[in-house]
Amino acid sequence: MSTHDISITVNGKMHKRNVDSRLHLADFLRQELGLTGTHIGCEHGVCGACTVLVDGATARACLMLAVQADGRRIETIEGVAAADGPLHPIQAALSRHHGLQCGYCTPGVVMTLLELQRECGGEPVTEADIRRALSGNLCRCTGYQGMVDAALEILPGAHTKA
Amino acid sequence: MKPSAFTYHAPKTLAEALDLAATLDNARVLAGGQSLMPMMNYRVVQPEHLIDLGRISELAFVEDTVEGLKVGAMTTQRTIERSGVVQKRCPLLIDALFHVGHQQTRNRGTIGGSICHLDPSAELPVTACALDAVLTAASKTGRREIPFADFPAGYLTSSLQPDEILVQIDFGKWPARAGAAFEEYAVRPADFAIVSVAARVALNEDGIITEARLAAGGIAPVPTRLISIEAMLKDERASAALIESAAAAAAALPAAGDDMNSADYRRELAGHLTQRALSKALQRVRP
């Protein structure tokens, strides 16, 4: 067993903590920082509920140790829109298209779509691209169609179905 | 679903990591963590020491050399799939990576981690098998090169010694007039493959196959190079009938089944996937 002093920037704010080596990033966010928007589903990298952005790239927060995130920049669902502000366009579109029901998988879905939106850099995205990105997020309520419709609405050039 | 307690080490250089690997007992090397972390969360693996290679920048590279493509063991799958050099020098890797996990796991998963983990349903070990990649293992006492054929020791087990770390994968030269394809069957896209097949064929100017490389995953505990079928193809004229006979031979190979998928089913998949991979590889032959 070892403990480590770490500094992690989460949603633009630097946090310094001393953590056990075995604490994973999802538990760190939820238990140490109180950021419970990152949900924990399977804890073995299958469901995608805990998806966050690490230096801008999606990652399973349950498959990364908090100590591995030392010095990194993490974005979680709490940082996507201001607490008292309007929803992010991805969130608003998911709401409009009924892209969520119970909401458990939704934070991970939003982070995945956020990465897709940033990576496409304005280039057209097809329905196949969207479905491929969302294959890493399990949803047992919606059947995905609402999420796909939401993404098709907000992502560039994605209005024709692939 | 939390790992048992361990001591975490984050060496910044390979030399430091090799020192740790040589001295620590019951240590595991952490690459991208997309297989080891789940196993630790399940406590299937309970190391006392974890040596994280994630801060060793010298192990992440893609190099186009006169001897062919060389990839650092800690290069992420995502970096490789987006690499123009890999697309040009070893397009089979790009084809294989299309089936690997999800973007959320490819962002962190590494080529070296996947090859050392040796999951029978994993695409990168099958690709390395087909191309007979040469793996460079480092230890405090030096380096040795291991042809992929000698690398697996058994199910989920490589022949690396406890003090050794995989540092580089050498995919060799890509032949002229060659095409390649990776085909697999999984119940859902991006799910674990039941059977997979990697193929590369090279032709001469008369359309005769000068070299065929073929490997399958999912018919045995470790990737299987289909040498007898490669021999059937070599020096023959590429044709639909030849592909059919190769596929029939693949469907007649010995295969091991499990509770989920019988040996017969896996054999049948191997036949169909061989047919598809060879057809696509031949279509892709570029002058």
| Overall fold of domain B57-172 | 3.30.465
Backbone CA torsion sign across B74, B104, B115, B155: positive
Q: How much of chain B, in percent, has pLDDT values that exceed 90?
A: 97
Q: How far is CA B153 from CA B135, B157, B167, B222, B285, in A?
A: 14, 5, 18, 8, 34
Determine the residue of chain B that is closest to A129 in CA distance: B103
CATH homologous superfamily of A89-154 equals [2Fe-2S]-binding domain (1.10.150.120)
Q: Which residues between 110 and 129 in chain A have a beta carbon less than 8 angstroms from any beta carbon of chain B?
A: 112, 115
Q: Does B104 touch chain A (CB under 8 A)?
A: yes
pLDDT tens for each residue of A134-144: 999 999 999 99
- In this prediction, residue B188 carries a pLDDT of 86
- What is the distance between the alpha carbons of residues B286 and B92, in angstroms, rounded to a whole number? 13
- What is the distance between the alpha carbons of residues B241 and B261, in angstroms, rounded to a whole number? 29
Q: Which residues of B touch A63 (CB under 8 A)?
A: 33-34, 37-38, 41, 105, 108
Q: Which residues between 37 and 66 in chain A have a beta carbon less than 8 angstroms from any beta carbon of chain B?
A: 43-45, 48, 51, 54, 57-60, 62-65
| Overall fold of domain B178-283 | Enolase-like; domain 1 (3.30.390)
CB contact under 8 A, B41 and A68: no
Q: Does A73 touch chain B (CB under 8 A)?
A: no
- As a whole number, the mean pLDDT across chain B is 97
Q: Residue B185 — very low, low, confident or very high, per pLDDT cuts 50/70/90? A: very high
Q: Looking at residues B67-95, what average pLDDT do you find?
A: 98
Q: What is the residue-level pLDDT of chain A in tens, covering all 162 positions?
A: 899 999 999 999 999 999 999 999 999 999 999 999 999 999 999 999 999 999 999 999 999 999 999 999 999 999 999 888 999 999 999 999 999 999 999 999 999 999 999 999 888 999 999 999 999 999 999 999 999 999 999 998 755 544
- In this prediction, residue B1 carries a pLDDT of 76
- In this prediction, residue A162 carries a pLDDT of 44
**Nearest by CB: B103 against A4, A44, A58:** A58
- In this prediction, residue A158 carries a pLDDT of 57
Q: What is the token pair recorded at A34?
A: 């109180």
Q: What is the token pair recorded at B234?
A: 């070599």
Q: Which residues of B touch A67 (CB under 8 A)?
A: 8, 10
Q: In what order do the strands lie in the sheet with A51-54?
A: A13-20, A3-10, A73-75, A51-54, A57-60
Determine the residue of chain A that is closest to B8 in CA distance: A21
pLDDT tens for each residue of B122-172: 999 999 999 999 999 999 999 999 999 999 999 999 999 999 999 999 999
Q: Would the pLDDT of B79 be above 80?
A: yes
Q: Which part of chain B is CATH 3.30.390.50? A: 178-283
Output the pTM of the full model. Answer: 0.96
Q: Residue B189 — very low, low, confident or very high, per pLDDT cuts 50/70/90? A: confident
Q: Residue B101's closest CA among A118, A63, A53, A24?
A: A63
CB contact under 8 A, B8 and A4: yes
Residue B239: φ, ψ to 5°: -155, 165
Mapped to the 3 state alphabet, what secondary structure does chain A carry?
CCEEEEEEEECCEEEEEEEECCCEHHHHHHHHCCCCCCCCCCCCCCCCCCEEEECCEEEEHHHCEHHHHCCCEEECHHHCCCCCCCCCHHHHHHHHCCCCCCCCCHHHHHHHHHHHHHHHCCCCCCHHHHHHHHCCCCCCCCCCHHHHHHHHHHCCCCCCCC
Q: Which residues contact B262 (CB under 8 A, 6 or more apart)?
A: none
Whether ipTM tops 0.90, in short, is: yes
Say if residues B219 and B256 touch (Cβ distance below 8 Å).
yes
Say if residues A36 and A76 touch (Cβ distance below 8 Å).
no
Say if residues B19 and B49 touch (Cβ distance below 8 Å).
no
**Nearest by CB: B34 against A1, A2, A45:** A45
Amino acid at position B210, single letter: T
Q: Does A132 touch chain B (CB under 8 A)?
A: yes
Q: Does B107 touch chain A (CB under 8 A)?
A: yes
Say if residues B115 and B34 touch (Cβ distance below 8 Å).
no
CATH homologous superfamily of A3-79 equals Beta-grasp domain (3.10.20.30)
**Nearest by CB: A21 against B6, B33, B103:** B6
Q: Would the pLDDT of B85 be above 50?
A: yes
CA B236 to chain centroid, in Å, comes to 28
Q: Does B6 touch chain A (CB under 8 A)?
A: yes
Q: Which residues of A touch B190 (CB under 8 A)?
A: 132, 135-136
CB contact under 8 A, A22 and B7: no
| Overall fold of domain B7-52 | 3.30.43
Q: Which residues of B touch A54 (CB under 8 A)?
A: 107-108
Query: Any bridge partners for residue B127, and if so which?
Result: none
DSSP symbols for B9-48: E--SSHHHHHHHHHH-SSEEEESS-TTHHHHHHTTS---S
Q: Which part of chain A is CATH 1.10.150.120? A: 89-154
Q: Does B103 touch chain A (CB under 8 A)?
A: yes
Q: What is the token pair recorded at A48?
A: 């995608």
Q: A70-80 as b/e, with b when 16 or more CB fall inside 10 Å?
A: bebebbbbbbb
**Nearest by CB: B7 against A2, A62, A63:** A2
Q: In what order do the strands lie in the sheet with B178-185?
A: B178-185, B195-203, B209-217, B224-225
- In this prediction, residue A122 carries a pLDDT of 85
Q: Which part of chain B is CATH 3.30.43.10? A: 7-52
